[in-house]
Chain A
Amino acid sequence: MLKLENIEAGYTRQTIVLRGVSLEVPQGKIVTLLGANGAGKSTTLKTIMGLIDDEPRKGSVTFQGNTLTHKDTESIARSGIALVPEGRGMFKDLTVFENLMLGAYHHTATAQSTLQDVLKRFPRLEERKNQHAGTLSGGEQQMVAIGRALMSRPKLILLDEPSLGLAPKFVQEVFNAIASINAEGVSVMLIEQNAKKALEIADYAYVLEHGRIVLEGTGAELRENENVKELYLGMTHVPDSGVGRFRRKRRWN
């Protein structure tokens, strides 16, 4: 459904962040992208959405057979891809209702019925409909961010670290929501710090290091991989034949 081929991208001409990334999100699946801080995960999503001017400098992005490379963000969004940005991207001074409606900017006809669906999925947003988004808790903001993305009735949803900074109860709620959105037929690309949970729900996973995909496989395969266990799942066994590029940077959980 979504296919990235040899993507090279960065923010300035002199620097490169993605050094030839290829990956695929099949229809109806959950694909997760893991990687240390600064590996280029968010940059990958921004490149897909066409948010960085004149990027990618090499490679192509195709979605349902159509090329998205160098199209403007508006038409990429309209083709059925929605982004839940890193840090939730709230319009803080706008109400929850206004935030949600902005997600349906090009879908006026279906906005009301989609809104009802979203409020049914996240009932606590109903009570807070007229509250400024900036005054919500982190977990509630994440629900607004996901709900807002759903307002455009996307075929593919890109989530950038949706569980970051949330209490365990909310983390579980977010993962449940992702699973149920996917069960309704929406394909998912998930970036997560919580590798354990991400690998549990993902059909397929990629590991990104320094702008390159260094490992890929099904969720189950990666859960059993020694490097992943050590670096991303925080298990203590140290393999002596570790891949050189893998560096211990940070442990999750």
Chain B
Amino acid sequence: MSLEQAIRLLIIGIEVGSIYALVALSVVLLYRTSRVLNFGQGELALLACFLTFTLTSRMGVPLWLSFLAGLAASAVAAGAFYFFLMRRAKAQDPMGLLILTLGFSLFANGGLSLLFGVDNKQMPGFVDVIETWQIGNFSISKNSVLVAVAGLILMIGLYFFVQKSKIGLAMRAVSQNPEVAKALGIPVNVVLVSSWAVAAILGSAAALLLAPAISLNPSLMLDPLNKGFAAAVVGGMTSLPGAVLGGYLLGIIEAYVGNFVPAFKLALAFILVILVLVFRPHGLLGEKETRRA
């Protein structure tokens, strides 16, 4: 493998890895605050994509504005789903809630397919996906750079939100000890609605960054969601830095392995998951024991 090719694969790995990392972050964020996995994450992201697509390609709204509207819509939908359904569900055990999100996912996927169609749509992007920059005789895809940089900015934004904002502090408190947080008068519901909304924004941003390079249809998020879950497990489910590490690691390994043994690419994420579960069940950066007694 030439150096050039090695670098090209690395860039692809980082690009795909940022998508996985964003999805993994949304999984971990939600898991930490509400101890639940949301199978509906993909449909929330689809909602953002379809709305963005409709606004910009059908109605001529500027792309950036459609983009923000898409993110906002999925945030609101996620917050509402938590507030009106998850919170009130009679079955408050993890399995019952998981099934509820699964039901939501199937229902929403059907609804979105009905509304927007199942055909492949060309999602507009901020840059043309085939354009490249030439550096000497080395060409680099503008879209790859955009995805990687946008992903990085979102992750830094999330870091400041979680570490420095008041609601971020409250999120961390709720994730560590919800009963004490409640007793202190912290509005636990507001915190949980916010974490559902932020998780939806992360997943939707991943979808919006991904869609222009492939085509937009109701199964857009199937693969990235599987990989994002895998990255979250590899990183350790409860660790936000772990999710980022897991995402990039999976993206990069996939890029190299896929280049040489394409058939192996699909199974790779799950081989990684199995290795982690066998040798390091708490993940690369996760906590060894569960904090909640």
Chain A residues within CB distance 8 Å of chain B: 49, 51, 73-74, 76-78, 82-83, 85, 89-94, 98, 101-103, 105-106, 108, 148, 152
Q: Mark B162-197, 1 if CB is under 8 A from A, else 0.
A: 000010011011001101111111111000000000
8 nearest A-B residue pairs (beta carbon): A77-B185, A89-B180, A83-B183, A91-B176, A73-B182, A74-B185, A91-B173, A105-B186
Q: Are A93 and B172 also in contact (CB < 8 A) when A51-B179, A85-B180 are? A: yes
Q: Quick one: which of B179, B186, B188, B291 contacts A102, CB cutoff 8 A?
A: B186
Whether the Cβ atoms of B183 and A78 lie closer than 8 Å is no
Which residues of A sit under 8 angstroms from B184, Cβ to Cβ?
Answer: 77, 82-83, 102-103, 105, 148, 152
**B176, A101: Cβ atoms under 8 Å?**
no
The answer to whether A101 and B183 have CB atoms under 8 Å apart is no
Is B169 touching A98 in the complex (CB atoms < 8 A)? yes
| A-B contacts, 7 listed (Cβ < 8 Å) | A85-B180, A89-B183, A91-B173, A92-B176, A98-B173, A102-B186, A106-B185
Listed in ascending order, the chain B residues whose CB lies under 8 Å from chain A are 166, 169-170, 172-173, 176-177, 179-188, 291
Cβ–Cβ contact B183 & A49, under 8 A? yes
Sample of 19 more A-B contacts, CB < 8 Å, known A83-B183, A91-B172, A101-B169: A74-B185, A74-B186, A76-B185, A77-B183, A77-B185, A78-B185, A85-B180, A89-B180, A91-B173, A91-B176, A92-B176, A94-B172, A98-B169, A98-B173, A102-B169, A105-B170, A105-B184, A152-B184, A152-B185
- Which residues of chain B are near A92, meaning CB under 8 Å? 176, 291
Say whether B169 contacts A89, CB under 8 Å: no
Main secondary structure of the interface of B (DSSP, over half): helix
Which residues of chain A are within 8 angstroms of B180 by Cβ–Cβ distance? 85, 89, 91
Query: Are A73 and B169 interface neighbours, CB within 8 A?
Result: no
Q: Which of B176, B182, B185, B186 contacts A93 (CB 8 A)?
A: B176
Chain A residue, CB-CB nearest to B183: A83
Q: Is B181 touching A102 in the complex (CB atoms < 8 A)?
A: yes
Q: Report how far A76 CA is from B182 CA in the complex, Å.
A: 10
Q: Once the chains are docked, how many angstroms separate the CA of A65 from the CA of B181?
A: 26
Most A-side CB within 10 Å, residue of B166, B180, B181, B186: B180
Residue in B176, B182, B183, B188 whose Cβ sees the most chain A Cβ within 10 Å: B183
CA distance A94 to B186 in the complex (A): 15
Residues of B within 8 Å of A148, CB to CB, are: 184
Chain B residues near A102 (CB-CB < 8 A): 169-170, 173, 181, 184, 186
Q: Is the CB of A74 within 8 A of B169?
A: no
How far, in angstroms, from A76 to B166 measured CA to CA in the complex? 21
| Contact in complex: B177, A74 (CB < 8 Å) | no
The residues of B that contact A78 with a CB separation of less than 8 Å are: 185
State how many angstroms separate the Cβ of A152 from the closest Cβ of chain B: 7
| Residue of A whose beta carbon sits closest to that of B185 | A77
- The answer to whether A94 touches B185, judged by C-beta atoms less than 8 angstroms apart, is no
Q: How far is the CB of B83 from chain A (nearest CB, A)?
A: 14
Chain B residues lying within 8 Å of A152, measured Cβ to Cβ, are 184-185
CA distance A106 to B184 in the complex (A): 10
**Residues in B neighbouring A77, C-beta threshold 8 A:** 183-185
In whole angstroms, what is the CA distance A25 to B173 when docked? 30
What chain B residues lie within 8 Å of A74 (beta carbons)?
182, 185-188
Question: Which residues on the B side are within 8 Å of A51 (C-beta)?
Answer: 179, 182-183
The complex places the Cα of A98 from the Cα of B186 at a distance, in Å, of: 13
State A98–B170 Cα separation when bound (angstroms).
Answer: 10
Please give, as numbers and ranges, the residues of chain A lying within 8 Å of B179 by CB-CB distance: 51, 85, 89
